[in-house]
């Protein structure tokens, strides 16, 4: 992908991988009736589910990624 192309011309595939090496998304989920936190890669893949938000945030940062919340 050319870094100078307008954002409206980004292909769906390029958009999906945008941020893959920089961010991870944190989403609250319910697992077996208990609150947990799912960690997703920038392309939407679920990579982990953790019982604690703090542990999930620490794991994201330990992997040199910037955590973003999904509501």
Q: How do residues 1-37 score in pLDDT, each as one tens digit?
A: 456 656 677 777 776 666 667 889 999 999 999 999 9
- pLDDT (tens digit per residue) in 41-52: 888 889 999 999
Q: Are 58 and 68 in contact (CB under 8 A)?
A: no
Q: Are 14 and 58 in contact (CB under 8 A)?
A: no
The three-class DSSP label of residue 24 is: strand
pTM: 0.71
Tokens standing for residue 11: 């292909």
**How far is residue 57's CA from residue 10's CA, in Å, rounded to a whole number?**
30
């Amino acid at each position: 992908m050319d870094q100078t192309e307008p954002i409206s011309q980004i292909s769906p595939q390029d958009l999906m991988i945008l941020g893959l090496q920089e961010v991870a998304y944190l989403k609250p989920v319910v697992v077996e009736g208990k609150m947990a936190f799912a960690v997703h890669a920038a392309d939407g893949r679920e990579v982990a589910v953790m019982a604690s938000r703090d542990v999930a945030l620490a794991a994201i940062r330990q992997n040199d990624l910037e955590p973003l919340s999904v509501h």
